[in-house]
C-alpha cells in the first residue's frame, strides 16, 4: 500500500531521488537546503549508494559529471549562491549530453541576499545559466508532494533526453512539512547507456567530452543539442490549470506563488469573480499554448512571482501583445493573498493597467495586508 | 624472433599534437605500458582535463572524459565511487592540478579516494601560450612574468608532493623526472606502482613528472631536458613522499 508520510520538502525531494534510483548524491552545505544533504547522508549509505559532502559546489557538480559519465544516476542540490557556482558544471554537463538532476532551493539574492524564499533564479534556470548555447529542463514543484514527484520524474527526463533537469524550488517548499504519498508503482528503470564510461572491455573506447575543434564540428553539435530541445518543447511541456476556461483574469504563477493564486481564485470565484490560474510545472519548456489560448477570453493576465519580474517576460513572449500582462512581483517575500486579490481587482477595474508592483514598499504591504474584498466591485469588468 | 620494442596496445596508432621535445608523449607511453602490463585496459577509465593533454582521449585507448579545468580530481573520485571495479586515473597539468584545481586535488587526496593521479609538472601553462604556473620557478620568464617570477610579487613555486604528504589520506606519492633514460625507467616503475596502489591497496596515489616544455621555455629540446635535471629537481626534489609499503624515505636529488 502507498505510504503516507509527513515530510519536509527538502527530504521529500531526497526521497523522490532515492525512489527513482539515484545512485549518487553530491552536496555542499547552504541554507535553506541543508536538510537535503543531511537526509541523503543518512539514506544513501543505508542503501549502499554514494554520498559525498564535496569541498565546494564546483566539486559537487563535477562529481555529478563524473558519476553521470560513468552511466549512473546522479544529483546535487543547493541554493541560489551555490547554484551560481554550479553553472560551470551545468554547462559542461549540457555540452557533454550527460543526464543530471540539480535541485535549487532558491533564496533571496543577488549576492548573499537572505535565506528566505525567492524566485530570483528563474532567468538563470530557464536561460541556461552557464556559458554557451544550451537549455536545461526546469521543473517547478508547488508542494511537498511535488518535491517528491518531480524530483523522481527528473531522473527519467534527464536520462531520456540526456539533459540536466533543474528542480526550481524555494526556501518555503524546501522547509515546510506536508503530508505526502510515496506511490507503490515502480519507477521506470534507467535506459541502457552505451555511451557511458565503464571500461572498454569488448568494445571501442568511449569518450565523454565537450571540446569540438574540428571544422564545423561544434556547430553540428549545437544543432544536435537544439534538435533535442525542440523535442522536449513538443513532448514535455507541463502545466496545471484552475478555472481558466471562462476566466477574465488569469494568474500565471509557479511554485509557492501558485498556491496563493489558487487560494485567490477560489476566493474570487466564491464572490462571482471569474479568476483562473495557469501554473507552469515546466518553466522550461514554458507552457506558451495554454496562455495564448486563454487570451481568447481573458481581459488580462496577472503574473505573480517572487522576483521583480522574470517569468513575466515569458508570459509576454507567449502572448505576443495579444493581452494585458500585469505583474505582482515581490523580490524577497511571498506575496499575500490580499495583495494578489487587490491586484487582480485593479486589473479588472482598469481593464488592464499594465505593470505595477504594489508590494514593493512597506506602505503597500501594510495597505494590502487585510483586504476588504467585499467593498470592491463584485462584478468583474466587462469585455 | 624477439620483440624488442612495440607500440603498447593501450596507445592509439596516431600522431599527437605535442610539440617536439615535450614530455607528454613519454608519460602517455608509460601509462599505456603499465595498462598493458597490468591487463587493465578493459576496466580503465581516464580523465584528461583542459590543458595540453586535453586530447589525451585520442591517444590512450581507454574510456576517457574531459573534465572542466581544475575539477578533475572531483570527477575521477566520483567515477571511482560509482564504479569501484574500474581503475580510474587522471592526467593533469600544473595549472589544472595546483592552481584552479588545488581544492579538488587536496580534498580528493584527503578523502583517500582510491584514484591514481598523473601530474605533469612542466612549470608553465602550455596550451594557453606560456603563462606562469603555480610551479613556475623563481626567475623563470613567462608571458605573465615577463621579468621573471619574483617571490615577493608572484609567490613561490608550489611543491605538490610535499604538500599532499602533510595529509593522512594519500597512500603513495612520488616525484620523478623525464630527464634521462634512467629517470624515465624510475618513472615507469612509479606509474606501475601508482596503479597497483589503487588496484591492490585501494589507496590514493599520485606521480608527479618533472617534464620539459621546450616551446614555452624557449629552449632546444636537449637544453630543456638539462633544465629539468639541473634546475627543476633542485626546487622539486625527486623521491617517494608517501609509501604504503614502508616508512617515508628521505627525498633525494
Q: Give Dmax (Cα) for chain A.
A: 77
- Give A375 or A51, the one with higher predicted confidence: A51
Q: Mind listing the pLDDT tens digit for each residue in B17-27?
A: 999 999 999 99
What pLDDT does B246 receive?
81
Mean predicted confidence (pLDDT) in A212-230: 97
**pLDDT-derived band of residue A40, with 50, 70 and 90 as boundaries?**
very high
What pLDDT does A350 receive?
79
Neighbouring C-beta atoms of residue A120, cutoff 10 Å: 23
Count of domains for chain B? 1
Q: Is the pLDDT of residue A237 over 50?
A: yes
Q: Cβ contacts (< 8 Å) between A24 and chain B: which residues?
A: 78, 81-82
To test the contact with chain B by mutation, choose from A89, A197, A207 the residue with the greatest count of B C-beta atoms within 10 A, namely A197
What pLDDT does B248 receive?
56
Contacts of B98 (CB under 8 A, 6+ apart): B105, B119, B121, B133, B134, B135, B158, B160
Separation CA A13–CA A6 (nearest Å): 13
- φ/ψ region of B135 (left if φ > 0, alpha if ψ in -120 to 50, else beta) reads alpha
Which among B18, B39, B42 has a CA at the least distance from the CA of B28? B18
Q: Is the pLDDT of residue A110 over 90?
A: yes
- The answer to whether residues A242 and A253 touch, using CB atoms and an 8 Å cutoff, is no
**pLDDT-derived band of residue A370, with 50, 70 and 90 as boundaries?**
very low
Q: What is the CA radius of gyration of chain B?
A: 17
Do residue B74 and residue A208 have CB atoms under 8 angstroms apart?
no
Q: Which residue of B has its CA nearest to A199?
A: B43
The residues facing A100 across adjacent strands are A164
What pLDDT does B230 receive?
98
What pLDDT does A251 receive?
98
B40 within a domain of the structure (yes/no): yes
Separation CA A165–CA A176 (nearest Å): 23
Q: Is the pLDDT of residue A368 over 80?
A: no
By three-state DSSP, how is residue A48 classified?
Answer: coil
Q: What is the ipTM of this complex?
A: 0.96
By three-state DSSP, how is residue A318 classified?
Answer: helix
The answer to whether domain A3-194+209-236 and domain A240-375 are alike in fold is: yes
| Helices vs. strands in chain B: H and E counts, helices first | 10, 9
Residue B41 CA neighbour count, 13 Å, CB half: 18
- Measure A62 CA to nearest chain B CA, in Å: 5
What pLDDT does A377 receive?
36
Q: Mind listing the pLDDT tens digit for each residue in B159-215?
A: 999 999 999 999 999 999 999 999 999 999 999 999 999 999 999 999 999 999 999
Name the average pLDDT for chain B: 96
What pLDDT does A361 receive?
38
Q: Which residue of B has its CA nearest to A66?
A: B75
B13 within a domain of the structure (yes/no): no
Q: Mind listing the pLDDT tens digit for each residue in B68-123?
A: 999 999 999 999 999 999 999 999 999 999 999 999 999 999 999 999 999 999 99
B142 within a domain of the structure (yes/no): yes
B11 within a domain of the structure (yes/no): no
Q: Could you give phi then psi for residue A111, rounded to 5 degrees?
A: 65, -145
Q: Could you give phi then psi for residue B180, rounded to 5 degrees?
A: -165, 160
Separation CA A102–CA A19 (nearest Å): 16
- Domain assignments of chain A as residue spans, ordered by start: 3-194+209-236, 240-375
Query: Domain containing B158 — which CATH number?
Result: 3.40.50.970
A206 contacts chain B (CB < 8 A): yes
Distance of CA A84 to the CA centre of its chain: 15
Q: Which of residues 86-145 of B touch A (CB under 8 A)?
A: 86-87, 103-104, 106-107, 111
Q: Is the pLDDT of residue B247 over 70?
A: no
Q: Is the pLDDT of residue A132 over 70?
A: yes
To test the contact with chain B by mutation, choose from A57, A69, A201, A213 the residue with the greatest count of B C-beta atoms within 10 A, namely A69
In order of A198, A226, B220, the CA distances from A162 in angstroms are 17, 12, 47
**pLDDT-derived band of residue A376, with 50, 70 and 90 as boundaries?**
very low
Mean predicted confidence (pLDDT) in A243-265: 98
CATH of domain A3-194+209-236: 3.40.50.970
Mean predicted confidence (pLDDT) in A155-182: 98
A67 contacts chain B (CB < 8 A): yes
CATH of domain A240-375: 3.40.50.920
Q: pTM for this structure?
A: 0.93
What pLDDT does A220 receive?
98
B185 contacts chain A (CB < 8 A): no
Mean predicted confidence (pLDDT) in A77-100: 98
Domain residues for the domain of B129 are 24-243
What pLDDT does A39 receive?
98
Amino acid at each position: 500500500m502507498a505510504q503516507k508520510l509527513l515530510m519536509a520538502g527538502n527530504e521529500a525531494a531526497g526521497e523522490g531521488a532515492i525512489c527513482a534510483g539515484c545512485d549518487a548524491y553530491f552536496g555542499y552545505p547552504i541554507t535553506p537546503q541543508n536538510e537535503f544533504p543531511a537526509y541523503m547522508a543518512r539514506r544513501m549509505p543505508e542503501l549502499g549508494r554514494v554520498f559525498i559532502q564535496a569541498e565546494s559546489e564546483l566539486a559537487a557538480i563535477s562529481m555529478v559529471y563524473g558519476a553521470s559519465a560513468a552511466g549512473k544516476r546522479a544529483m546535487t542540490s543547493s541554493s541560489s549562491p551555490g547554484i551560481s557556482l554550479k553553472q560551470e558544471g551545468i554547462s559542461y554537463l549540457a555540452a557533454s549530453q550527460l543526464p543530471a538532476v540539480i535541485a535549487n532551493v532558491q533564496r533571496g539574492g543577488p549576492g548573499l541576499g537572505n535565506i528566505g524564499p525567492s524566485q530570483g533564479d528563474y532567468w538563470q534556470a530557464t536561460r541556461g545559466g552557464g556559458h554557451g548555447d544550451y537549455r536545461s529542463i526546469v521543473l517547478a514543484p508547488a508542494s511537498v508532494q511535488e518535491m517528491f514527484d518531480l524530483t523522481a520524474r527528473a531522473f527519467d527526463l534527464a536520462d531520456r533526453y540526456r539533459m540536466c533537469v533543474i528542480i526550481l524550488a524555494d526556501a518555503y517548499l524546501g522547509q515546510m512539512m506536508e503530508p505526502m504519498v510515496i506511490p507503490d508503482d515502480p519507477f521506470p528503470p534507467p535506459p541502457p547507456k552505451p555511451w557511458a564510461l565503464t571500461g572498454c572491455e569488448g568494445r571501442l573506447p568511449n569518450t565523454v567530452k565537450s571540446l569540438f575543434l574540428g571544422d564545423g564540428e561544434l556547430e553540428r553539435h549545437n544543432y544536435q543539442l537544439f534538435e533535442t530541445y525542440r523535442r522536449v518543447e513538443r513532448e514535455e511541456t507541463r502545466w496545471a490549470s484552475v478555472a481558466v476556461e471562462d476566466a477574465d483574469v488569469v494568474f500565471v504563477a509557479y511554485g509557492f506563488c501558485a498556491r496563493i493564486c489558487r487560494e485567490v481564485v477560489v476566493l474570487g470565484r466564491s464572490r462571482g469573480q471569474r479568476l483562473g490560474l495557469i501554473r507552469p510545472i515546466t518553466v522550461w519548456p514554458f507552457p506558451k499554448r495554454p496562455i495564448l489560448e486563454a487570451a481568447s477570453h481573458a481581459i488580462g493576465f496577472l503574473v505573480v512571482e517572487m522576483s521583480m519580474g522574470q517569468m513575466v517576460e515569458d508570459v509576454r513572449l507567449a502572448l505576443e501583445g495579444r493581452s494585458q500582462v500585469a505583474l505582482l512581483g515581490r523580490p524577497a517575500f511571498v506575496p499575500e493573498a490580499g495583495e494578489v486579490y487587490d491586484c487582480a481587482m485593479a486589473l479588472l477595474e482598469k481593464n488592464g493597467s499594465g505593470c505595477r508592483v504594489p508590494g514593493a514598499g512597506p506602505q503597500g504591504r501594510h495597505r494590502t495586508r487585510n483586504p476588504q474584498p467585499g467593498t470592491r466591485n463584485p462584478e468583474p469588468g466587462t469585455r | 624472433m624477439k620483440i624488442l620494442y612495440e607500440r603498447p596496445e593501450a596507445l592509439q596508432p596516431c600522431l599527437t599534437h605535442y610539440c617536439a621535445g615535450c614530455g607528454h608523449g613519454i608519460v602517455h607511453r608509460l601509462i599505456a605500458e603499465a595498462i598493458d602490463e597490468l591487463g587493465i585496459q578493459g576496466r580503465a577509465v581516464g580523465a584528461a582535463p583542459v590543458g595540453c593533454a586535453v586530447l589525451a582521449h585520442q591517444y590512450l585507448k581507454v574510456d576517457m572524459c574531459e573534465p572542466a579545468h581544475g575539477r578533475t580530481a572531483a570527477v575521477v573520485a566520483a567515477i571511482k565511487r560509482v564504479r569501484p571495479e574500474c581503475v580510474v586515473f587522471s592526467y593533469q597539468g600544473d595549472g589544472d592540478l595546483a592552481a584552479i584545481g588545488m581544492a579538488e586535488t587536496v580534498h580528493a587526496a584527503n578523502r583517500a579516494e582510491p584514484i591514481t593521479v598523473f601530474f605533469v609538472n612542466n612549470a608553465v601553462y602550455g596550451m594557453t601560450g606560456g603563462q606562469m604556473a603555480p610551479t613556475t620557478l623563481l626567475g623563470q620568464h613567462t608571458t605573465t612574468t615577463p621579468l621573471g617570477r619574483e617571490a615577493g610579487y608572484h609567490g613561490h613555486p608550489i611543491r605538490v608532493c610535499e604538500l599532499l604528504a602533510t595529509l593522512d589520506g594519500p597512500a603513495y606519492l612520488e616525484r620523478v623526472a623525464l630527464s634521462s633514460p634512467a629517470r624515465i625507467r624510475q618513472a615507469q616503475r612509479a606509474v606501475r606502482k601508482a596503479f597497483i596502489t589503487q588496484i591492490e591497496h585501494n589507496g590514493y596515489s599520485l606521480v608527479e613528472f618533472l617534464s620539459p616544455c621546450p616551446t614555452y621555455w624557449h629552449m632546444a629540446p636537449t637544453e630543456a631536458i638539462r633544465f629539468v635535471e639541473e634546475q627543476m629537481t633542485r626546487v622539486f626534489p625527486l623521491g617517494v613522499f608517501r609509501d604504503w609499503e614502508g616508512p617515508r624515505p628521505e627525498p633525494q636529488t
